[in-house]
Amino acid sequence: MTIVTTSRKPLPEIRALARDLAFSIGSRYLTRGKQGLVDVLSLDETVVLVTMQGRQPHLQVYRGGDPVVSIPIQSYTVVQRQDEIRRGLAVSDMPLYEELKDYIDVFCMQKQDREILFDGTQKRRYTLELAA
């Protein structure tokens, strides 16, 4: 099972995003506390780290302790969904889909914008706009 975690002291918005991401892909959210990244990476084969780099959120996927995918996020929005919940990540960028498909629950959607969409708890729907 995949683990989703954040930096040691994340902003509340980043913590909520990480928890909802874990919910969407059917993985476990881990509060890091004082654990170092090496400790977290040793807990599972696949780890998704949600952090802030500067003023932008960033998703990093690790496999076997090594970084395999790095996804800079330009911006993100959270809206209340009106339809049924969807599990997994909907990715509009085909190369990114190809990179992620071996590590987490992801499917490709046909859309012009470079986005990742997923549904969290409490009727939240996230749209992550990918940075160039």
Q: According to the model, what pLDDT value does residue 132 have?
A: 79
Can you tell me the mean pLDDT for 53-76?
A: 94
DSSP 111: -
How far apart are alpha carbons 80 and 64 in whole angstroms? 36
Q: According to the model, what pLDDT value does residue 12 have?
A: 94
**H-run or E-run covering 126:** strand 124-130
- Residue 57: give the domain boundaries: 3-130
What is the CATH number for 116? 3.40.50.10480
Global confidence as pTM: 0.93
CB atoms within 10 A of CB 121: 12
Q: According to the model, what pLDDT value does residue 112 have?
A: 79
Q: According to the model, what pLDDT value does residue 113 have?
A: 85
CB atoms within 10 A of CB 5: 25
What pLDDT digit, counting tens, does each position of 29-50 carry?
A: 999 889 999 999 999 999 999 9
Can you tell me the mean pLDDT for 94-118?
A: 92
How far apart are alpha carbons 123 and 82 in whole angstroms? 8
Can you tell me the mean pLDDT for 116-122?
A: 96
Q: How many domains does the chain have?
A: 1
